[in-house]
Structure 1
């Protein structure tokens, strides 16, 4: 009897398989695709009174968002919400906003909605504006509206959040939003936030030119006295007149303790730099400064102006200077680095000053600066394409090893005419550095041989026990396939060591 049942099951299975193949064949014949639903679920976690939703880029749809809305409705005691919902397939957030406004105990909110194909923009803007205005206990808000909402709807949302009287920390991201013409006027309501102390505006690729800076100047004039301001104007075209107008607005915020400005590729030139640095140099209370002036054609004269401004800031603890530019020479470089050397000891230093061909003298000057600032907690050096050679790498390695409290180290020496000797000196500096927990070492596009690379990893291996994460980049060197394979095999199981290697034909170095 049992044998008969087993035979029957085999026949049934065989029939089923045949039918399945027939269906597949028909679908193929008519070019019909069989879709299996692998749609992502809406992930979240609740830790005490905090809810975290990290679903950006997961291609969530409205149905998944509905489940997240229910999570909010069931946790009305929430005081902190981090909802990253950008880059999905969500068309309608209104139910989510309705649930959001019920979180009457919310103190901190990070809400990112950008790059979604939303519909009924006006209705959704009204719903978000209403939700924000009712979060009366909110003191910290980060709002991401990248590539969504037009001028009128953006203005509606900003008016809603401007009613949160206790708001003191605000971050608004409008990346790739068209703010040309009167677009920045949609932000005027921010000036009603009389308790605001910290403002971060991300206006990347927002089609801003010199005329639009008049609106930003007005906003800066009417804002309350801030302690922290960050303006990211990356990839706009404000040019000289825009920089001058912007400087007029910043003049009203000279009391700042923390200031950051990113002006990558805005073509402000030396004249715009003069105006901007005149204001920065007068910010006597600054303890943190981030200057992003990369590829603005500031020339040597602009570099000298940056150095002059830095020399006046006697309270700085954290400094980041990005002055990488192809038409920037020794005089500008020397002015910036020499002024840093003369500052009171810094805690954190980031110097991005590549593509300046400062050579060996530039490396030696940086060494002297690092000797002066020997108690750094974080150090980032980007010397891309400065042609410092092995001797220059040795100077910088000596400066690194002189640090006493270093916790984070990042060194980019790509395109610097290094051989094995220079790269080994940098690796030895990492090994001998006292206490870095995070290390990022890049020595790509240099003529480093198989033996050199093996010796580099031998040194770095000795540093591994004391670090939490080490990233090493050795691309386009003289490495052979065999050595590359040996290294990847040897270190592939070490989770905290992340390696980027490749090989190129030997003729590349001939």
Structure 2
């Protein structure tokens, strides 16, 4: 290659690098999930967060980031004023790493979505995050799913309940796999009498029974804020389903989506829920698979679907008939199609709000 050609090639490469750097500075969304960044990559990411002034969404799910990487990223967010949504899901940062994010929440006033699900955080971190959210007014959604809790006292739930009494900005709270029992649910319900902001409460995969749902039923008679309630994989049984159906049939007109999947509910409780939908026009999404379907249950939900009261994309069952008998088949819909799905809470119309509850809907950040 002649000298002029080499010079031209070098200039062209330099121009591309300049354009790339400009593009990086303008980047608003960065998805690096399921890679192997490790703590070394976290150091580079921390530097990027300190220098970038346009990034709104950062997804670092499952990147083998540990405690030291968590410290670097969390400290980088102390001065960051642009990032809105951060996902650290699946990185085993532990309780110590989670504490750096708790400290960050005391300083950062921009972040409005934080996902620390499946990060092996513990009691100390959960209490610290709850304390930070007593003052933080920017966070609207937080995922604290599957912590490592070596206690039966439910002190973390008590602290989260106290936080809900004081916090007026949190819209979405995920507490899946917290070993929560009826005592903890009662504390949460007491707090939600004073909370007027929470719209999505995820209590899936806990140890809640019908005795605990009694408090939830009483809350729903009064609460006019909650729109999405996930009780998937608890054990509320028929009595719990009846407590919910009484509140939904006679009092509550704000709840739009309810999941009672795998709760050991039989026909009596399921039919009660279907009857509640006949009088409650606001409850548009209900998920019931994994319970004990009898003929009355199949007929009740088949009737709801045939009359148009319950749309197929708003439930996880579909009726079919064999030899004159009606059965229910499972659909691949659900309040959570996979573990880390979060619906949008910025929908402005009723149609958009319902669409955001459907599992096919994706948040604007995803």
TM-score range, shorter chain: 0.7 to 0.9
Task: Give distance in 2, aligned partners of 1:330 and 1:200.
Answer: 35
- What is the alpha-carbon root mean square deviation over aligned residues? 3.3
Change (3 A) 1:399 1:335: same
Within 5 Å, which residues of 2 pair with 1:273-422?
A: 273-286=185-198, 288-294=199-205, 296-316=206-226, 318-326=227-235, 328-341=236-249, 342-344=251-253, 346=255, 348-356=256-264, 358-374=265-281, 379-386=285-292, 388-403=293-308, 406=311, 408-412=313-317, 421-422=325-326
Task: Give distance in 2, aligned partners of 1:338 and 1:349.
Answer: 16
Task: Give distance in 2, aligned partners of 1:419 and 1:243.
Answer: 50
Contact 2:237 2:266 in 1 (8 A): no
Task: Give distance in 1, aligned partners of 2:52 and 2:160.
Answer: 32
State the number of aligned residues: 314
2:71: which partner in 1? 155
Within 5 Å, which residues of 2 pair with 1:248-267?
A: 248-256=162-170, 258-264=171-177, 266-267=178-179
2:25 to 86, 104, 115: 104
For residues 226-248 of structure 1, the C-alpha deviation after alignment (integer angstroms, 9 at most, x for no partner) is: 4x223232263364122112323
Task: Give distance in 2, aligned partners of 1:134 and 1:402.
Answer: 57
Within 5 Å, which residues of 2 pair with 1:85-100?
A: none
Task: Give distance in 1, aligned partners of 2:302 and 2:204.
Answer: 26
Q: Select the structure of larger CA radius of gyration.
A: 1
1:268 to 161, 170, 180: 180
Q: Secondary structure at the match of 2:218?
A: helix
For residues 193-240 of structure 1, the C-alpha deviation after alignment (integer angstroms, 9 at most, x for no partner) is: 2234x2232321x334433322222332342344x2232322633641
Change (3 A) 1:165 1:419: farther
For residues 87-127 of structure 1, the C-alpha deviation after alignment (integer angstroms, 9 at most, x for no partner) is: xxxxxxxxxxxxxxxx2223x22332445174xx34x3332
Contact 2:201 2:230 in 1 (8 A): yes
Q: Does 1:116 align with 2:30?
A: no
Q: Secondary structure at the match of 2:276?
A: helix
Task: Give distance in 1, aligned partners of 2:309 and 2:267.
Answer: 25
Task: Give distance in 1, aligned partners of 2:137 and 2:130.
Answer: 13
Change (3 A) 1:353 1:440: closer
2:86: which partner in 1? 171
1:273, distance to aligned residue in structure 2 (A):
1.3
For residues 285-334 of structure 1, the C-alpha deviation after alignment (integer angstroms, 9 at most, x for no partner) is: 34x3232232x322222111222233332144x323224334x3332221
Task: Give distance in 2, aligned partners of 1:245 and 1:173.
Answer: 23
Q: Secondary structure at the match of 1:214?
A: helix
Select the structure with the greater relative contact order (CA < 8 A; seq sep ≥ 6). 2
Contact 2:57 2:85 in 1 (8 A): yes
TM-score, length basis structure 2: 0.73
Q: Which has the higher strand share?
A: 1
For residues 159-197 of structure 1, the C-alpha deviation after alignment (integer angstroms, 9 at most, x for no partner) is: 223322234x223223141413x332221123322234x
1:456: which partner in 2? none
Task: Give distance in 2, aligned partners of 1:419 and 1:304.
Answer: 40
Q: Does 1:202 align with 2:116?
A: yes
Q: Does 1:126 align with 2:48?
A: no
Change (3 A) 1:173 1:149: closer
Task: Give distance in 1, aligned partners of 2:306 and 2:92.
Answer: 45
